[in-house]
Amino acid sequence: LPDYKPGLGGLFVAESYRGRGIGTELVRAGMNVAQEQGYERFYATTVAAQGILVRLGWEQVQVAMPADGHGLLYQFEFASDRHF
């Protein structure tokens, strides 16, 4: 797997707190940081959070095989007129 950077990873919401929008807000916070730092693209590899990423406008670019198992590689392209 090529080195896709910057990347979003290591996010976890305890089961008792799921379904409250916490995961979505964590992803948005990461996106805000990447955008503020001037990145044009942002990447994440996941299976569990794919629904969140799709709702926020991420695009699946390939099936990935990271060291910890399989996942789907997603990319988000920042645009000046795009809000998430």
Note the pLDDT of residue 30: 96
- Give the separation between CA 7 and CA 14, rounded to whole angstroms: 22
Q: Which residues, 6 or more positions from 35, have their beta carbon under 8 angstroms from its beta carbon?
A: 42, 78
Domains of the chain: 7-77 (3.40.630.30)
Band of residue 2 on the pLDDT scale cut at 50, 70, 90: low
In the predicted structure, residue 1 carries a pLDDT above the cut 50: no
- Confidence band of 3 (pLDDT split at 50, 70, 90): confident
What tens digit of pLDDT does each residue of 15-71 get?
A: 999 999 999 999 999 999 999 999 999 999 998 999 999 999 999 998 876 666 678
Instruction: Give the pLDDT of residue 63.
Output: 83
